[in-house]
Amino acid sequence: MKKLILIFFFACQFVHAADKDSTYLYHFRHMEFPEGLGKCDACGCSATGGSMGFSSMFNNNFVGLRYFYQSYTSKDGIFDNSPKVDENFNTIQVWARVPVSKKIQVSALLPYHFHTRERSTGDENISGIGDMTVIAMYSLYQTKKDSTVFTHKIQAGGGVKFPTGKYEEANNLGSVNPGFQVGTGSFDYLFLAEYMIKRKNLGLNAMANYTIKTENEKEYQFGNQFNYGTTLFYLFDLKHIKLVPQAGLAGEVYEENTQRHQAVSDTAGDILFSRFGIEAGRKNFSIGLNAMLPISQNLSGGNVEANYRWSVNLNYSL
């Protein structure tokens, strides 16, 4: 019953799509006209945090809060000597992963974003509810409990990201980073797969997902995105606390954005992070801390540089 209530709660979170005709368009008209160094939507308006994933290594079913921070430095202009801009993206997500049946789990994330960036003309801020994502995962295979040394679990599923967050076209009008948004203004469709192998307390999780992004009302379409990652984790089952240190890799690949069906230059890219963190749990509560550092990247034709990301989450095990 509790689970049903939760599902309804999340389903009813679905609000009508974001306000479409923004008459509030502010233009940056000054000599160093800032340029459209397009990027992905994962930076700012990501509902999911890109390759940060939907899961916890600690518990399979939970409801919780996650905060994550992303730091970027972008070039504010198209020249070698264009000024650099520091961008700080903050997101708080309500997230949950609940079993709906024996083989089906539903995940949902609803973010709230508050981002700032420091330009030569002054600081800019944007904040608001972001795009909600709902995903259903089906368990394709799971090793029976009394099986041998290794246990495997394979899941696949799909989901939808709803344009509950407001898309500011003004931020794509020759702006440094069109990821400086709280929403993409579009319905996007996700396809996911996840694999977990465990032996006693040691486990390896691998995930991949592909998002097909659609055109929003302003005829801007972010490029499709492929995220992948793998995490090695170990469960320390101690007397009063469980600890799960974890480390791995996470990558994101972006196809180029289009505006009115024409490609926007310098919007494709890719990045590979190392990630490491720890989750700790006691009774039904768990807390996690995670950091991501770029290993290699080429975002927006080199005009956007990811510095690092980190996140903290507080989960309640179901």
Partner 1 sequence: MKNIQKAFSILAITILFAACSTDNSENISGIGNLEIEFDNAYASNDLILGIQENATSNGEILKINSAKYIISNIVLTNQNGAVFTYPKSDSYFIVDESGQAILELENVPAGNYTKVKFGIGIDNDQYALGAENQGDFFVIAQSAGMISGFTDGYTNLSLTGTFTSPTVASETPFMVKTTKTATDSNYREVTLDLPTKALVRTDITPEIHIIADVSKILDGSHKTRLSEHISGSEATINSGEILDLITANLTEMFIVAHVHND
Contact positions vs partner 1 (CB under 8 A) = 3-4, 7, 11, 14, 29, 31-33, 35-36, 77-82, 100-101, 104, 106, 134, 136, 160, 162, 169, 172-174, 187, 189, 214, 217, 219, 259-260, 262-265
Which is closer to partner 1, CB of 66 or CB of 218?
218
**Cα(29)–Cα(188) distance, rounded to whole angstroms?**
32
Considering the complex, what minimum distance in angstroms separates the CB of residue 191 from partner 1? 14
Which is closer to partner 1, CB of 267 or CB of 290?
267
Considering the complex, what minimum distance in angstroms separates the CB of residue 61 from partner 1? 13
Handedness of CA 36, 37, 41, 46 (dihedral sign): negative
- 74: amino acid identity, one letter: S
Considering the complex, what minimum distance in angstroms separates the CB of residue 141 from partner 1? 19
Which is closer to partner 1, CB of 100 or CB of 278?
100
Which is closer to partner 1, CB of 190 or CB of 250?
190
State the residue for tokens 């504010």. Answer: 76
Query: Six-digit token pair at 102?
Result: 């024996």
**Cα(225)–Cα(304) distance, rounded to whole angstroms?**
17
State the residue for tokens 């691998």. Answer: 206
> 274 by DSSP, 3-state: which?
strand
Residue of 241, 206, 266, 212 lying closest to 55 (CA atoms)? 206
Which is closer to partner 1, CB of 168 or CB of 279?
168
Which is closer to partner 1, CB of 112 or CB of 187?
187
Query: Six-digit token pair at 152?
Result: 């495997």
Considering the complex, what minimum distance in angstroms separates the CB of residue 7 from partner 1? 6
**Cα(201)–Cα(145) distance, rounded to whole angstroms?**
14
> 119 by DSSP, 3-state: which?
strand
Considering the complex, what minimum distance in angstroms separates the CB of residue 3 from partner 1? 7
Considering the complex, what minimum distance in angstroms separates the CB of residue 211 from partner 1? 13
